[in-house]
Structure formats: C-alpha cells, structure tokens
C-alpha cells in the first residue's frame, strides 16, 4: 500500500515538475524574444 502511494506521489511530482519546466521554458523563450525584439523597457504587455 505504501509503495503504491509513494509511486503515485512520485509520479505526481514528476508530472508537476515537467509541467512547470515546459511553462518556464515557454515563458523564458517569450521574454527572451520580446527583450531581443524591443527594449526591455516594457516589462509587461
């Protein structure tokens, strides 16, 4: 029982980490493109 519970927890953590990784990569790529495109004077939209 504990093993299966731990497995589910690990899978949840891995999924969350993967999701956050993709999100951060997207955000960083977006910020980088915007910073390169324009002055970094515009912090927000």
Q: Which pLDDT tens digits describe the chain residue by residue (45 residues)?
A: 567 888 999 999 999 999 999 999 999 999 888 887 765 555 555
Say if 1 falls within a structural domain: yes
Within a domain: residue 17?
Answer: yes
Q: Which domain holds residue 23?
A: 1-40
pTM for this structure?
Answer: 0.49
Which 3-state string (H, E, C) describes 3-45?
Answer: HHHHHHHHHHHHHHHHHHHHHHHHHHHHHHHHHHHCCCCCCCC
Q: In this structure, is residue 19 part of a structural domain? A: yes
Residue 45 located in a structural domain: no
Note whether residue 12 is domain-resident.
Answer: yes
How many distinct structural domains can be found in the chain? 1
Whether 22 maps to a domain, the answer reads: yes
10 assigned to some structural domain: yes
């Amino acid at each position: 029982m504990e093993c299966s519970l731990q497995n589910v927890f690990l899978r949840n953590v891995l999924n969350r980490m993967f999701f956050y990784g993709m999100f951060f990569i997207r955000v960083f790529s977006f910020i980088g493109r915007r910073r390169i495109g324009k002055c970094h004077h515009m912090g927000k939209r």
